[in-house]
Amino acid sequence: EAGVTQSPTHLIKTRGQQATLRCSPISGHTSVYWYQQALGLGLQFLLWYDEGEERNRGNFPPRFSGRQFPNYSSELNVNALELEDSALYLCASSLGTYRDGEKLFFGSGTQLSVL
């Protein structure tokens, strides 16, 4: 069974540009979560999608957005890139939501570098 897959592996952009990151959850998983892992800051919760809808977002500005498609894959968009957006962006999926205690499985991430 394939795990959570993310693309691209690496992405290099310049300030002010837009970045699009993609995630395919484990087959059968309906919930997708996005986390930002910046150096020394651990994993910061960005967005949570379930059944095609945004269920919650973390403390990030509106230029971080995304969506979930009917096949449960997801896309994270970051507009007007800033230098401090450089980080590893991790996608995770679960069968349900962890409010129900479902385990979270992570992808390998997209390393975004903003120059």
Q: Whose CA is closest to 12, among 81, 91, 109? A: 81
Q: Which is nearer to another protein, 59 or 70 (CB)?
A: 59
User: Is 83 in a helix, a strand, or coil?
Assistant: helix
User: Is 27 in a helix, a strand, or coil?
Assistant: coil
Q: Which is nearer to another protein, 90 or 114 (CB)?
A: 90
How many angstroms separate the CA atoms of 48 and 67, rounded?
9
Residue numbers at the binding site for another protein (CB under 8 A): 4, 33, 35, 40-45, 48, 55-56, 58, 90, 97-101, 103-109
CB of 38 to another protein, least distance (A): 11
Q: Which is nearer to another protein, 42 or 70 (CB)?
A: 42
Identity of the residue numbered 49:
Y
